[in-house]
Structure 1
Amino acid sequence: MPPIEVGSTSALSAINARFARASGTASQQTTSLAAWSDSPTVDASSALDAGSVPVDTDRVAEIRKAVENGTYPVIPTQIADAMIAAGVLLRSHKE
């Protein structure tokens, strides 16, 4: 395999102030800023709005209470089956 050639590198340093300064006079800069603020705004489409999340708050409260009391059933085989199924679903869509 041929070697990879890397060009010269320079050390990282602070930004040179002359590059950071805006060009033009103060009046030109003010004019360009005023033109920018007069431009129309972009309205977001409601089609991209996900809306509210459908959450059954009663069920969530019931599960939280069961976890706090230690009565929530944890079945390792069901957890393992769900993890395997999720992995199979993720792999099947990448083909």
Structure 2
Amino acid sequence: MPPIEVGPARAATAIDARLARAAGGEALPGANSVAASSKKSASGLAVGAAVETSDALDPGAAPIDTDRVEMIRKAVETGKYPVVPAKIADAMIAAGVLLRSPKQ
């Protein structure tokens, strides 16, 4: 029996929301659209039918404190934002531990 050739393995990653949704929540052309082609294949099935998604799972807009973002931007631009490498490293390690721990 000949060997089965499989392409290179890729790591599983999160879906980029920009591919599915444009700014403002509008769907990008062709992304999860409901429109289906009226053409039918030889077996009678619709060709080019898209998957319809539900709005029930849409998280909506992210809660952003624009005043705080502006304050941090100005602090970074002026060089007054405190960057403590040890604190950043601790937060990165804690995030990695949380991601690897089993869900309860």
Normalised by the length of structure 2, the TM-score is 0.48
Aligned match for 2:83, one of 44, 64, 74: 74
Which structure's relative contact order is higher, taking Cα pairs within 8 Å and 6+ residues apart? 2
Q: Which whole-Å deviations, capped at 9, do the CAs of 1:49-70 have from their partners, x for residues lacking one?
A: 1111100011111111110000
When you count helix as a share of all residues, which structure comes out higher?
Answer: 1
Amino acid across the alignment from 2:100 = R
Aligned sequence identity (%):
63
Query: How many pairs align?
Result: 64
Distance 1:48 1:65, change over 3 A: same
Inter-partner Cα distance in structure 2 for 1:76 and 1:42? 46
Q: Give the unaligned 5+ runs of structure 1.
A: 8-31
TM superposition outliers: structure 1 runs of 4+ over 3 Å: 41-44
- Give, in angstroms, the shift of residue 46 of structure 1: 2.4
Tell me which structure has the larger Cα radius of gyration: 1
Aligned match for 1:53, one of 56, 62, 76: 62
Q: Give the unaligned 5+ runs of structure 2.
A: 5-37
Match of 1:6 in 2: 3
